[in-house]
Amino acid sequence: MSREWVPFGALAATVILIQLVTMFTNTQYYLTQLIMAALYSIVVIGLCLLMGYAGQISLGHAGFFAIGGYTAAVGTTLNLLPHRDHVLVRMAERAGLTIQTTNSWGVDILYFSPWITLLAALLLSGVISLLIGIPVLRLRGHYLAMATLGFGAIIYYILLGSRFLGEADGIYDVPGFGLPGGFTFDGARNNRVLSYYFVWALVIGLMVLMHNLVNSRPGRALRAIHGNEPAAMAMGVDTARYKLSLFVLSAVCAALGGVFMAHYNGGMGPTEAGTLKAVRYVAIVAVGGMASLWGTLGASVVLNFLSLRGYFGSLDDAVFGVVLITVMLVAPDGILRRLGMYTLRRNRDTAPDAFPVSAEKQVQRGTA
């Protein structure tokens, strides 16, 4: 194994170690929060790429998370039995894309296979992010932040205002996600260990893919855009297209997290699309050091775990507000990175800034 893969091996080992420790200390209930923390991490990893590597802020990723979750939730709770004669339903049934069971109230139901809704969720979030990204990604700074915030708010209000989507209650009774080997990913206690491994395998897989991306041709192009956009264009990088592709990719990641969250929790409510969630994701990426996949994953697991375990009590959202401000005031390039700098190099002057300085602006002004 080359040195490049050591961190991934270490992560996998940690995941296994934690499971073993909880098993021997009889604290398996911690796994529940670790599973949910992993699901939120999937969103944050995508956002980290968008913010840290391409320098584009998004306050709309909670919206994509909800799009994913709601698509899965609606698709797998919609009873198709009354519509059995419809051509599409019949075709889906014949192709084995539906599941028929009896629900907890003893009613026979027929619903789409979670695999189909997963695909639909990824596709839908991809298409929506593409449509929204084309106009919005031409904006910068505040404009981009406000526009993505507005997008998230639209999703929130639609979820809240649509009877079909359960209004404030959201959608519940979402079945588990049946995986090969007869195992189901859901919140049931006896599936917990397997669900834990499944979701962490997903996270590790995603980390590998993103790590590869960062170190590939498109990844370099994206970092170049962040480093100096005019120069990236002059080197032949189609900056608009790259930003858009990354936006779509990160939106699809968010939807992926949402889908499995809906299956794990057995439902989803409109608060998942709320501004506070979106800000939380941004806060985590900021704590992780913006352009650091590992920092972001670490920050995400720690902060989400503490939050989900209820350590912050009623101050939950306030904590994220404080974290956000503190990070931006004392270590805008990330706490972990700053810590790393102190311990490893003790040399702040040569450290790159997370934010290219405004020298750029002066140069552009003086082009005449």
Partner 1 sequence: MPSRFLRKSRCSVALLEVNDLFRSFGGLRAVDQVSFTVPNGMIKGIIGPNGAGKTTLFNLIAGSLVAESGTIFFDGRPVSGLPPHRIAARGIARTYQNVKIFRQMTVLENVMVGCHQRSRGGFLAGMLRLPFTVREERRVRARSLELLEMLGLPEVADQDASALAFGRQRSVELARALALEPRLILLDEPAAGLNIRETVQLAQTVRSIRDLGITVLIVEHDMSLIMDISDEIVVLDFGRKIAEGTAQQVRRDPEVIRVYLGDEDAEG
Partner 2 sequence: MSSELIIQYILSGVTSGSVYAIVAIGFNIIYNTTGIINFAQGEFVMLGGMIAISLVPFMPLPMAVALAVVITAAVGALAQIAFIRWLKRPHVLQLIIITIGLSILLREAALHIWDEKVRSLPYFTGTVVTSVRIFGAYVSPQVFWVLGVCGAAVVLLSLFFGRTLIGQAMRACSADPLAATLCGINQKNMVTLSFVISAALGALAGCVVSPITQTHYECGTPLAIKGFTVAIVGGLGNSTGAVAAGLLLGIIEAFSISIMPMAYKDIIAISILLAVLSYRPTGLFVRREVGALKEF
The answer to whether residue 93 forms part of the interface with partner 2 (CB under 8 A) is: no
DSSP per-residue string spanning 134-180? HHHTT--HHHHHHHHHHHHHHHHHHHHH-GGGTGGG-EE-PPPEEET
The answer to whether residue 173 forms part of the interface with partner 1 (CB under 8 A) is: no
Residues in the chain: 368
For partner 2, give the closer residue by CB, 350 or 362: 362
Separation between Cα atoms, residue 308 and residue 319, nearest integer Å: 13
Interface pattern 337-356 for partner 1 (x via CB under 8 A): -------------x-xx--x
CA nearest to 266, candidates 149, 169, 152, 155: 169
Interface pattern 240-279 for partner 2 (x via CB under 8 A): -----------------------------------xx--x
Measured at the CA of 355, the angle between CA 353 and CA 356, to 5 degrees, comes to 85
Interface pattern 215-244 for partner 1 (x via CB under 8 A): -xxxxxx-xx-xxx-xxxxxxxxxx-----
Q: Which residues pair with 28 in a beta bridge?
A: none
Judge residue 49's burial from the number of C-beta atoms within 10 Å of its C-beta, 0-12 exposed, 13-18 middle, 19 or more buried: buried
Type of residue at 323: V
Among 59, 144, 210, 299, indicate the residue that binds partner 1 (CB under 8 A): 210
Residue 186: both structure tokens together? 């859901």
Among 10, 325, 339, 363, indicate the residue that binds partner 2 (CB under 8 A): 325
For partner 1, give the closer residue by CB, 155 or 237: 237
For partner 2, give the closer residue by CB, 154 or 204: 154
The answer to whether residue 145 forms part of the interface with partner 2 (CB under 8 A) is: yes
Helix ranges restricted to H, 57-140: 61-77, 87-94, 114-136
Residue 201: both structure tokens together? 């395998």
For partner 2, give the closer residue by CB, 180 or 313: 313
Among 57, 78, 306, 308, indicate the residue that binds partner 2 (CB under 8 A): 57
Measured at the CA of 320, the angle between CA 319 and CA 324, to 5 degrees, comes to 120
For partner 1, give the closer residue by CB, 46 or 175: 46
For partner 1, give the closer residue by CB, 73 or 285: 285
Chain Cα centroid distance, residue 358: 30
The answer to whether residue 317 forms part of the interface with partner 2 (CB under 8 A) is: yes
Separation between Cα atoms, residue 68 and residue 355, nearest integer Å: 31
Residue 133: both structure tokens together? 């990204």
Q: Which residues contact partner 2 (rule: CB under 8 A)?
A: 55, 57, 59, 132, 135-136, 138-143, 145-147, 149-151, 153-154, 157-158, 160-162, 167, 275-276, 279, 282-283, 286, 314-315, 317-318, 320-325, 328-329, 332, 355-358, 361, 364
- Give contact residues for partner 1 (rule: CB under 8 A): 209-210, 212-213, 216-221, 223-224, 226-228, 230-239, 245-246, 249, 291, 350, 352-353, 356, 359, 363, 367-368
